Structure 1
């Protein structure tokens, strides 16, 4: 299983358009990008590829990185930085299966699959497949499972991708606070590679309107506001889940410049063989 991180940034990416903060300036100097979130998974046994989330930077990502167009796609939730790149499929694909959760979201009155289906009804070469949480589907020769996480006010899902022949395992936390249900933690456990939401360091919680949440024994917030984990929360979760390799994704340009390019923060283009 070959995993390529096409997009490792949050909703505005790094560098952020129109921003001249120290972190964005340094990212430009280094030629480093953290575009909006997307992960490419290639099954080298079957020569098929799965795309996790449709970044608005879809076109740029596939022109920049040497990976094939996907044979299928999974959508974790309906925020624009994970979904709106699906419009790039117009005139690009002959047939693209898109998998998404079937649970009805109380906030929207429809499931993620329903939203994808209705929003992109003009893409007649896209077929949306409804998937129940914890229901494993064989997609591109890989076992894919959606697991509920905590990203209020919308339903959101992490993912587990396993190779049924080699046992290689990729886990993604999805966009989430530290308050991930125990059943989902169990499914995510023991990954070879863990891609985990760590939007900012815990020290920045004082600048959030509602501060931080889910403090550890030392009083360090593991959730920034209500929707995303802090760096510290992400690393604690990775340790709890016994991840072999951990990369922090969905990171913001608010990281101080002297921390923004340190391990284990991911950048676009990283590739892993599992």
Structure 2
């Protein structure tokens, strides 16, 4: 499988509109971007393409990277920066299945699949397919699983994609308290894409501070919703990932932190 990181940023992206912080300025000077999160996974055996999360930056991402339009889409949760790109199916796509979890979210009273179906009921091209968490299903010739993670207050899911001995794992938006069964499903990935929004040092600026501290007191969760960089790295180590990249990165890290390993930027490609 060929994996292209279309969007590696958080909800505002980097550079952030209207922001002249050192990191946004450096991003402009270096000509690098972190648009809203999205991953393109091409099955080289079938020629099909699966899109994991449909970013609002869909048009820009596909034009910039020159990858094929998706044959199928998977949505991890209903936050706009992961969902609203589905609207690009209008006039661009035909008969595109959109995969999502079918368990009811207590917060919204409907599942991710039901929310997607309701929001995009005007698009004839979109057909929503619901799946139970941890149940294997086929998409674009891949074996796929949605695995629950923790991203309060909404339900959210990581993704495991496998084909011909290759394994891609994506944590989705999550704090460090990923359930044990989901951790096991993601274990041993050839590539792990792990949510890590800021370095742990910035937890002091969050109203809720940090959580899930390691033995040295370093927070692996920023507030309640996302892992820190240190949390993402710790998870990758715990799960024995062959390779990993930190994604869903904000513009708050300093330029030295923001553009060095292991933080990903848009356009990176991996062959698994």
Normalised by the length of structure 2, the TM-score is: 0.99
CA shift for structure 1 position 125: 1.0
SS of equivalent to 1:160: strand
Give SS of 2:133's match. Answer: coil
Instruction: Find the counterpart in structure 2 of residue 132 from structure 1.
Output: 132
What residue number does 2:90 align with?
90
Distance 1:59 1:43 in 2: 21
Task: Note the 1:86-125 alignment, pairs <5 A.
Answer: 86-125=86-125
Q: 1:197 aligns with which of 180, 195, 198?
A: 195
SS of structure 1 residue aligned to 2:192:
strand
**TM superposition shift of 1:264:** 0.7
In the TM superposition, residue 258 of structure 1 has moved relative to its aligned partner by: 1.5
Please provide the CA RMSD for this pair: 0.4
Q: Which runs of 5+ in 1 are unaligned?
A: none
Q: 2:225 aligns with which of 219, 224, 227?
A: 227
Gapped runs of 5+ residues in structure 2? none
Counterpart Cα distance in 2 of 1:138 and 1:149:
21
Q: Secondary structure at the match of 1:11?
A: coil
List structure 1 runs of 4+ shifted beyond 6 angstroms.
none
Aligned-partner Cα distance in 2 for 1:264–1:214: 21
Aligned to 1:184: 182
> How many residues get paired?
272
Q: What's the offset of the Cα at 1:84?
A: 0.6
Alignment partners' CA distance in 1, 2:55 and 2:203: 27
Q: Which residue of 2 aligns with 1:9?
A: 9
1:26-37 matches, cutoff 5 A:
26-37=26-37
Distance, in Å, in 2 between the alignment partners of 1:262 and 1:16 is 19
